Amino acid sequence: MRLTKQKLNTILGNLRISIPDELQEELLERYGNEVVTDDGRVLEYSEQDICEQLRKILRPANKEVKTLR
């Protein structure tokens, strides 16, 4: 699975958080593109992989946003 802007917005909506546009672009670049290993294998993330990685990345970002309010 590749992360799309629509899927990212759905995940963020379900988590009820918002993140800066720069972080959104970074996440789309990281998880929205095909990953090829040094030996030529193509890695494909599952939806669970992406959601778990987003949770880890967004937890500190969400705390930072809440403290600024």
Mean pLDDT by 10 residues, the chain (69 residues): 91 86 92 90 89 83 52
Rounded to two decimals, the pTM is 0.72
Q: What is the pLDDT of residue 68?
A: 43
Burial 2-11 (b: 16+ CB within 10 A, else e): ebeeebbeeb
Boundaries of domain holding 61: 5-68
Q: What is the pLDDT of residue 62?
A: 58
* DSSP for 1-69, written as a single string: ----HHHHHHHHHHHT----HHHHHHHHHHHSS-EE-TTSPEE---HHHHHHHHHHHHHHHHHHHHHH-
Domain count, the chain: 1
